[in-house]
Amino acid sequence: MIDLKTEADLVLYRKTGKIAAEILTRLIPEVKVGVSTYHIAKLAEKWIIEDYDAVPSSIGQYDFQFALCASVNSVICHGVPSKTELLKEGDIVNLDVTVKKHGFIADTSRMYIVGKASERAERLCRVTRECMLKGIEEVKPGNTTGDIGFSVSKHATRNGFSVVKEYAGHGIGKQMHEEPEISHVGKRGKGVPLREGMVFTIEPMINEGTAEIRHLDDDWTAVTRDGKLSAQWEHTVVVTKDGCEILTLRDEEK
């Protein structure tokens, strides 16, 4: 069952989305050479709790203990912050944060480039963001979840990259994972019809090489099977009467 959000819900949801967006923006100057992903995660946790009186909702999900996932280079998603993993010049990092306040959860991520990365790495980050935006452009009543996946995968493959199929966007609201699932591959007109009030994430994971993945021994962290780079961007969006609204839009994107 898909939980449609009302305008009263969205008044609150926008406030939650703004917090998550601000956390990612505030982290920009903190992602630098020599900093540990553990330090970044604890900083986000401190801000969410102390500055916003909100809940870092990823803590406790599937026994995860951090306010964000930090996925570096070949890590596709669910990267576990580490005290010993120090960022290096040229690394690319996805920071994925979830925040709960006013009864709703906002989920968003962005890529960070440490210093100067290779041209290929920078292009992967740029194209992955474009893939997310292509998916968002498809969000309007009358379209389907398949339209989103089609546009995302078309843009990725046209640019010589591949789309991870094992992980998808998801409905979100009072719970972290709700219906519907938002695959980043699909066929036009197929899947779940989009309706006003649906809230979900679009979060394509795009690989430099093949789409094949493997999991580390923790049975949680997903990495590229060929060891090449992966990137991800994510927003929480709502289907509106005429299109969509990004609930986690950052000021830097406006």
Assigned domain for 212 exists: yes
Domain-embedded: residue 67: yes
- What is the model's pLDDT at position 211? 98
Torsion of CA 140, 108, 215, 36, to 10 degrees: 160
> How many angstroms from the chain centroid is the CA of residue 213?
18
Per-residue pLDDT reduced to its tens digit, 187-204: 999 999 999 999 999 999
DSSP assignments along 216-242, one per residue: -TTS--EEETT---EEE-BEEEEE-SS
Provide the CATH number for the domain around residue 178. 3.90.230.10
**H helix or E strand, kind and range, residue 238:** strand 235-239
Buried b (16+ CB within 10 A) or exposed e, 44-78: bbebbeeebebbbbbbeeeeeebbbbbbbbbbbbb
- Is 75 domain-assigned? yes
Helix (H, G, I), strand (E, B) or coil at 50: helix
Cβ atoms of 100 and 23 within 8 Å: the answer is: no
Q: Looking at the domain assignment, is residue 77 inside a domain?
A: yes
- Evaluate whether 99 touches 57 at the Cβ level (below 8 Å): yes
Domain that holds residue 123: 7-249
User: pLDDT value at position 85?
Assistant: 87
Q: Residue 167: what are its φ and ψ, rounded to 5°?
A: -120, 145
Residue 98 counted as domain residue = yes
What pTM did the predictor assign?
0.97
Paired tokens of 244? 């969509």
Strands 244-246 and 235-239 come out as: antiparallel
pLDDT in tens, 208-217: 999 999 999 9
Question: Locate tokens 């994971």: which residue?
Answer: 205
Which residues in the chain land under pLDDT 50?
Answer: none
- In-domain check, residue 209: yes
**What type of residue is 179?**
E
The verdict on residue 211 lying in a domain is yes
Q: What is the DSSP letter of 34?
A: T
206 within domain boundaries: yes
Q: Which two three-digit tokens encode residue 112?
A: 């960070």
Encoded tokens for 90: 């040229």
Terminal Cα-to-Cα distance of the chain (whole angstroms): 33
Q: Provide the pLDDT for residue 193.
A: 98
Determine contact, residues 44/24, Cβ cutoff 8 Å: no
The pLDDT of residue 57 is: 97
Count of domains observed in the chain: 1
